[in-house]
Structure 1
Amino acid sequence: MADAPLVTPGPTTDAVRRHDPGVRGFASDNYAGVHPEVLAALALANGGHQVSYGADEYTGHLQELFRRHFGPAAEVFPVFNGTGANVTALQAVTERWGAVICAESAHINVDECGAPERVGGLKLLPVPTPDGKLTPELIDRQAYGFDDEHRAHPEVVSITQTTELGTCYTPAEIRAVCDHAHQLGMAVHLDGARLANAAASLDVPLAEFTTDAGVDILSFGGTKNGLLLGECVVVINPERARGLLHLRKLSMQLASKMRFVSVQFEALLAGDLWLRSARHANAMARRLEQAVRDIDGVRVTQQVRSNAVFAVLPREVSERLQKRYRFYFWDESTGEVRWMCAFDTTEADVDGFAAAVAEEMRNGG
């Protein structure tokens, strides 16, 4: 009688699930888990030994992948997170005395705990904007004093696509910003934490509003589009950037087991996962906006061009809603809130939340 085949048990763990996976919210696309296709890629890259610190097969293949989207001159440097990507990229295009012009609402100005200043040694020159977007005219409010030794030298214009207010630059708008900045001798950095959402909204290739528009360096977001962790600094114009290998380490953004960051981007970019996920998140935001815009007392404040909905409603209504669904106040002074959708937001999630908004509004502000 033949021996029975050995059955290899599946992996076990002492970890305990400590959350209800059925609970959804609208606070941030960072709340979502990891896309199943990305989890599969991580498992694929596991096992055996690979050279550390980026000399692995997966990171080597990333150069080819990113060049498909951003052109033959592009160089990619995987990092841990968005703040690290922005700070590392901005250091690569500035001198020690340099300054960065940005929108007042920019993530680098509002949400990075002073990291560009304290870690990068940069001076930020913020400009108020109504929709999170810079224009040549707005840039000129801070683009002066180039020969003044008493003022930090404006060297970079940083824009965000999509913006922190959920709005989206057209390719022509980015081209105008880049042309103006270059004429003044400045480089252009693009914070692309939600770059995929912008491409999905514009329905154009990534290069059309980055490489072809004149952007010099950018941060490419992965975490908000279904990755476990990881962003990339993408150098589009190597003549503008320098020292990324050293700056990445200096900024504490060099992963030893980099293959596990890089393989996630392969899962994202080798096919259309990046676009599918972004299109879905955007579609859920549009569905939400359509569902709430006719509710008496709710006012949507920004055009919905990505996966964010900004609205004003009575504060007490928002506070009651927050006990049922997580989301954040965007502007405490006006009662403006932000509702975010993600790659895993479902139509049922949106419809349930919209019904809750209508119910709480009926209960009175």
Structure 2
Amino acid sequence: MKKSFASDNYSGVHPKIMESLLKVNTGHQSPYGGDEYTAKAKEKFNEVFGDVETLFVYNGSASNVFALDILKGIGSAVLCPETAHIYTDETGALSKVTGMQMLTVPSTDGKLDLEEAKKYLLFKDTFHRPSPNIISISQATENGTIYTLDEIKEISKFAKEHNMYLHMDGARISNAVVALDCTLKEMTRDCGVDILSFGATKNGIMFGEAVVIFNEKLKSRINEFEYLRKQDLQLLSKMRFLATQYITLFEENIWYENAKNGNDMAKYLEEELSKIGIEVTNEVRGNTVFAILPPEIIEPLQEW
């Protein structure tokens, strides 16, 4: 059996998640989220994050685009590091779907540099240019770094001082939570995050992500966002198959166990690479390892 180091998306589905999918594949349930499993999954998100509104979508890029579409105002732009997944790896989906531009900030470590971000405040509320009304950060970042809770709070404070929303791309948030030994709530709601794209396809489930809304004013508009999800082509018919995965993910603590195993294996890989003289260029805290490999072994590894 081949094992790939390219991406956590190469892995299969956790056996307990697969079991849960088979168990709900019986009888009839109301479609489009009207089923008992979707209701229970939303309850699980409330237990984990506090009083939130949760909307399920198909995949990671969709969760980012839909979450940011929720935050969009007239003339809005999204301020993000130049390494952000929404900017580098989503094929311009945000701009195509929402019409919003991304204003990128130079970054050497994947994190948002607030001093650099301040330069864009000159564009704020100037109708000749897109206004940076939203900040988006990734946790963990695309460079493998992890924001501390204090760093997230600082960015949230900056956002609120300048009348901006804070979005978190949480494709690997579970790995970040394990690395910082905190809770999901402490990393998001308690740090002032307004909306989260919660990822789990990189952490054991088959498909489907969740958009989690913390901001009270946004929560009061949940009916609008149900319409918006449909317009953004993200309303799944047989929602029970998406929802049951999250019930199992939280009830069985799979989200934590998988993330911890991923982090531990990344650290193990770093240690073993160092023994054969291969340089790892990032501080390994989550499940991401960047290494400088000899040219002669790159192609064979790519064939795995």
Which band: TM-score by shorter chain?
over 0.9
2:14 alignment partner in structure 1? 35
1:136 alignment partner in structure 2? 114
Cα deviation digits, residues 314-359 of structure 1 (max 9, x gap): 3333224323x3xxxxxxxxxxxxxxxxxxxxxxxxxxxxxxxxxx
After superposition, where does 1:1-365 map in structure 2 within 5 Å? Answer: 22-72=1-51, 74-240=52-218, 242=221, 243-296=224-277, 298-323=278-303, 325=304
Shift of 1:139: 2.1
Q: Is the 8 A contact 1:77 1:233 kept in 2?
A: yes
SS at match of 1:224: coil
**Which protein shows a greater Rg?**
1
Q: Which deviates more from structure 2 when the two are superposed, residues 239-248 or residues 201-210? A: 239-248
SS at match of 1:139: helix
Q: Is the 8 A contact 1:175 1:209 kept in 2?
A: no
Q: Which deviates more from structure 2 when the two are superposed, residues 232-241 or residues 37-46? A: 232-241
Taking the aligned partners of 2:125 and 2:89, their CA distance within structure 1 comes to: 31
Q: Is the 8 A contact 2:105 2:113 kept in 1?
A: no
Cα deviation digits, residues 7-61 of structure 1 (max 9, x gap): xxxxxxxxxxxxxxx2211111111111000011111111000000001001111
Cα deviation digits, residues 141-200 of structure 1 (max 9, x gap): 323322311110111000000111111111111000101111010000000011111111
SS at match of 1:234: strand
Q: Is the 8 A contact 1:136 1:176 kept in 2?
A: no
Structure 2 unaligned segments of length 5 or more: list them. none
Q: Is the 8 A contact 1:144 1:154 kept in 2?
A: no
After TM superposition, what 4+ stretches of structure 1 lie above 6 angstroms from structure 2?
A: none
Q: Percent same amino acid among aligned pairs?
A: 45
Matched letter for residue 254 of structure 2: L
Taking the aligned partners of 1:317 and 1:173, their CA distance within structure 2 comes to: 38
Taking the aligned partners of 2:254 and 2:172, their CA distance within structure 1 comes to: 14
Matched letter for residue 67 of structure 1: N
Matched letter for residue 260 of structure 1: F
Shift of 1:109: 0.1
Matched letter for residue 266 of structure 1: I
Q: Is the 8 A contact 1:127 1:141 kept in 2?
A: no
Shift of 1:239: 1.1
Taking the aligned partners of 1:176 and 1:80, their CA distance within structure 2 comes to: 31
The RMSD of aligned alpha carbons is 1.3
SS at match of 2:94: helix
Shift of 1:244: 1.7
Taking the aligned partners of 1:30 and 1:225, their CA distance within structure 2 comes to: 9
Shift of 1:305: 1.1
Taking the aligned partners of 2:118 and 2:283, their CA distance within structure 1 comes to: 26
Matched letter for residue 172 of structure 2: R
TM-score (norm 2): 0.96
Matched letter for residue 140 of structure 1: K
**Number of equivalent positions:** 301
